[in-house]
Amino acid sequence: MRPTTAVVRPLTTRYTPRHFVGRGVRLSPRASNPSPHARGILTLKDHVYFARSTAEGSGRIGGVVKSFGDSPLEFNMDMPKVAGGKGEGMNPEQLFGMGYATCFLGSLQLMAARAGKKELAEKAKVHTKVFLGHPENPDLEGLGLRVEVGVEGIDDDDIIAAAHDFCVYSRALTQGCEVNVVKV
């Protein structure tokens, strides 16, 4: 069986150099928006870890998701009340936001340590907001994501920018990632 390859890309197209506004890093859209297919996809030459998860049941509305490994997890899933669900479980956006916040915090701490400023990140906090909504492009069906990452406790824009460049979640959303969908 041959895998079908899908590409995960951010909802907005290409981003370029950062400019600093107030207390954080903002990404500015390019002046000319080339085709979103013009950029390459980040691929892996090897892997150092993999996580395995299974979703079953009714999916987003009353389903169950399990993660296996050193510390197995299991969550009941549900749509948020505001989206028509009962709000009696987790939703994928919450789990994504939690993973992103954790990864970005680790990246901040590593980049601060590499800059010889380890103490800057010791009490840092990372806040994420994951927005689920309809794409502006009327030709796209379904929903899309927008993510805001807030960094609390670090004012060094260079460390924040380095963390954004290093964070796995940031890379996946800004550079794309390889996704293979296969029948099992």
Does a structural domain hold residue 51? no
Does a structural domain hold residue 38? no
Percent of the chain scoring above 90 in pLDDT: 68
Whether the predicted pLDDT of 14 surpasses 50: no
Does a structural domain hold residue 146? yes
How confident is the model over 28-77, as pLDDT tens digits? 343 344 444 456 788 899 989 999 999 999 888 999 999 998 999 999 99
CATH of the domain at 101: 3.30.300.20
Residues whose CB falls within 8 Å of the CB of residue 130, separated by 6 or more in sequence, listed in order: 93, 94, 96, 97, 100, 145, 146, 147
Q: Domain of 106?
A: 4-28+91-181
Please state, in angstroms and rounded to a whole number, the distance separating the CA atoms of residues 39 and 1: 28
Does a structural domain hold residue 59? no
Phi, psi of 72 (to 5 degrees): -60, 145
How confident is the model over 68-118, as pLDDT tens digits? 989 999 999 999 998 888 999 999 999 999 999 999 999 999 999 999 999
Phi, psi of 61 (to 5 degrees): -115, 90
What is the sign of the dihedral through the CA atoms of 15, 16, 17 and 19?
Answer: negative
Does a structural domain hold residue 79? no
Does a structural domain hold residue 102? yes
Does a structural domain hold residue 70? no
For the chain, the domain total comes to 1
Token duo for residue 84: 């028509």
Does a structural domain hold residue 175? yes
What does pTM read for this prediction?
0.76
